[in-house]
Amino acid sequence: MSRGNGTNCLDDQVTGMALSVLAEVGRMLETLADSGREDAIDLRSLPLTDADRAELEQMLGRGEVRAELDLAGESEVWETNYPGAWWIRHRGAERKIASEEIAVCRIPEILKTHPVDIETAALRIRNELETTHE
Amino acid sequence: MNDKKTLGEMLTERGVSRRTFLKYASYTASIMALPPTAATAIAQGIANARRQSVIWLSFQECTGCTESITRAHTPSIEDLIFDFISLDYHHTLQNASGHAAEEARMQAMQENAGEYIVVVDGSVPLKDDGIYSTIAGITNLQMLEETVKDAFAVISVGSCATFGGIPGANPNPTGAVPITDIVTDKPVINISGCPPIPEAMTGTISYLLSFGSIPELDHLNRPKAFFGEAIHDRCYRRPFYERGMFAKSFDDEGARQGWCLFEVGCKGPVTYNACATLKWNGGTSFPIQSGHGCLGCSEPGFWDLGGFYKPLSTAKGDPLKWAGGAAVAGAAVGAASAIMARNKRNKILKEGK
Ligand code: SF4
């Protein structure tokens, strides 16, 4: 029950929240399978202790896919051991977690390339080729 | 400034991908307590918006609110807000000074009439015709009235602008008033705190940008996303409060064990803010986690609440008022422990602490 700064806290206590979140993920996966409806849970909005979060991460485990993103700071996305349930962790200033969610979907939106970026990429290649030929 | 390009077009030219927008949107959705699935709509809303003209007026204030929003960190997702807004006037941050600064304000008002946002920190002195604070030869009152005339919305940041703050504290020598006493014909969003949490300021602006509307506000005009819950509701020391385990001084065994700080003056039970969840300095800590009670700085008249180190019930002269409120809030955790805590506090009050 002790933090490095000398004050004590309850962050290393397991409250049972992880199991509730796991059950919720299970319900969302059923809905995704039945109707294709995607959903997500904002982990920062839940009163999870550090120990709960670690327990949840361990319960969900890691599956086949893992991606590292470099977007104004680091982000990590991995499919958990339960296909269709993805853990998305965005880091902000000083690598602190800026947002963290479990997305229940076929593929998280953040991994898809946006049509605007595809257009821009094509344009960049065209410009580069034009410059090379000049 | 009046840039015709959308933020999406502007930032694409600078190599910022739509994924980055989406990451920012996920962060905004999270701090605004919106469902994560709202992130796509937020990202699209910001990408389609034009750079938002912001005129920042500083009146009777200490510049702490500006310090808070411009906190120094490594470039990161949180700083993207400074690409989304055009800060057209700000005494402390703009390069221009004197007449050139005032011209920048006038130009922003003309070019963005009906669309610009006025951010105000500091209270406005009204006593003796407002002579206690003037800028560019006019009183704060004149500058405020002139500037908000064609604004889309006003955001009061900090406890001075929202509730009068320290300038308005007893005996209020300058007749300081909050912005809502003057601006009555425009939406005014209050983001209180001394200073306010930076995410509460940037999150609110991002919400305005993405949805073009005002977020849901509480009875004091504060966004519910940040001010919807008391510090006490989300405080990690709450289980000690429920068990009636209180630190009696800042160096006793209870304080060392991380017990509840109610009896050393914590105002968490009556203070609505997001310090316990968003925390400060990039999520590092907040006063209670650092061993000090909440001062209640985001509530009206916090400076005159009767003493930072006196328990609430003593300070307000009504022992049962906060105890009752806290017991109701704590019912889910256990009525018995709340009653125990109340009895304990009453005992201490009787002993004259
Ligand atoms: S009184 Fe203060 S320290 Fe105690 S639980 Fe409430 S907010 Fe936390």
Of B39, B78, B277, the CB nearest to A92: B78
Residue B226 Cβ inside 6 Å of ligand 1? The answer reads no
The continuous run of DSSP H or E covering B156 comes out as strand B153-157
What local confidence, expressed as pLDDT, does residue A100 receive?
94
Nearest CA in chain A to B285: A5
- Give the dihedral sign, CA B294/B297/B298/B299: positive
pLDDT tens digits along B47-64: 999 999 999 999 999 999
pLDDT tens digits along B149-165: 999 999 999 999 999 99
The minimum CA-CA distance between A53 and chain B, rounded to whole Å, is: 15
What local confidence, expressed as pLDDT, does residue B76 receive?
67
| Rounded average pLDDT over B178-198 | 96
What local confidence, expressed as pLDDT, does residue A11 receive?
62
Distance, in Å, from the CA atom of B227 to the CA atom of B352, rounded to the nearest integer, reads: 33
State chain B's mean pLDDT as an integer. 86
- Give the dihedral sign, CA B249/B318/B222/B120: negative
- Report yes or no: A113 and A69 within 8 Å, Cβ to Cβ: no
What local confidence, expressed as pLDDT, does residue B184 receive?
94
Distance, in Å, from the CA atom of B293 to the CA atom of B318, rounded to the nearest integer, reads: 20
Query: Which of the two residues, B81 and B72, has the higher pLDDT score?
Result: B81
What local confidence, expressed as pLDDT, does residue A96 receive?
83
Atom of ligand 1 nearest to the CA of B238: 5
CB contact under 8 A, B76 and A7: no
Residue B178 Cβ inside 6 Å of ligand 1? The answer reads no
The minimum CA-CA distance between A14 and chain B, rounded to whole Å, is: 13
| Chain A touched by B290 (CB under 8 Å) | yes
Share of chain B above pLDDT 70, in %: 86
Which CATH code, of 3.30.1370.140, 3.30.930.10, 3.40.50.970, 3.40.50.2300, is assigned to A17-132?
A: 3.30.1370.140
Q: Please tell me whether the peptide bond between B195 and the residue prior to it is cis, using omega within 30 degrees of 0.
A: yes
Residue B249 has pLDDT above 80, yes or no: yes
Q: Which of B262, B277, B297 to mutate to test the pocket of ligand 1 (most atoms within 8 A of CB)?
A: B262
Write the burial class of residue A36 (CB in 10 Å: 0-12 exposed, 13-18 middle, 19+ buried): exposed
Residue B42 has pLDDT above 90, yes or no: yes
Which residues fall within 8 angstroms of residue A9, CB to CB, at 6 or more apart?
A1, A2, A3, B236, B237, B258, B289
Nearest CA in chain A to B256: A7
The residue type of A34 is D
* pTM of this structure: 0.84
| Residue B78 pLDDT level (bands cut at 50, 70, 90) | confident
Which residues fall within 8 angstroms of residue A4, CB to CB, at 6 or more apart?
none
Residue B269 Cβ inside 6 Å of ligand 1? The answer reads yes
Residue A49 has pLDDT above 80, yes or no: yes
Which residues fall within 8 angstroms of residue B93, CB to CB, at 6 or more apart?
B56, B66, B70, B87
| Residue A6 pLDDT level (bands cut at 50, 70, 90) | very low
Query: B134 — phi, psi (to 5°)?
Result: -130, 150
Query: Which of the two residues, B72 and A122, has the higher pLDDT score?
Result: A122
Distance, in Å, from the CA atom of B351 to the CA atom of A58, rounded to the nearest integer, reads: 50
What local confidence, expressed as pLDDT, does residue B31 receive?
87
Q: Which domains does chain B have, with CATH numbers?
A: 7-225 (3.40.50.700), 231-352 (4.10.480.10)
Q: Quick check: helix, strand or coil at residue A127?
A: helix
CB contact under 8 A, A93 and B74: yes
Residue B31 Cβ inside 6 Å of ligand 1? The answer reads no
The minimum CA-CA distance between B33 and chain A, rounded to whole Å, is: 7
* Closest residue by CA, ligand 1 atom 5: B238
ipTM for the whole complex: 0.88
Lowest mean pLDDT: which of B68-82, B214-228, B315-329?
A: B315-329
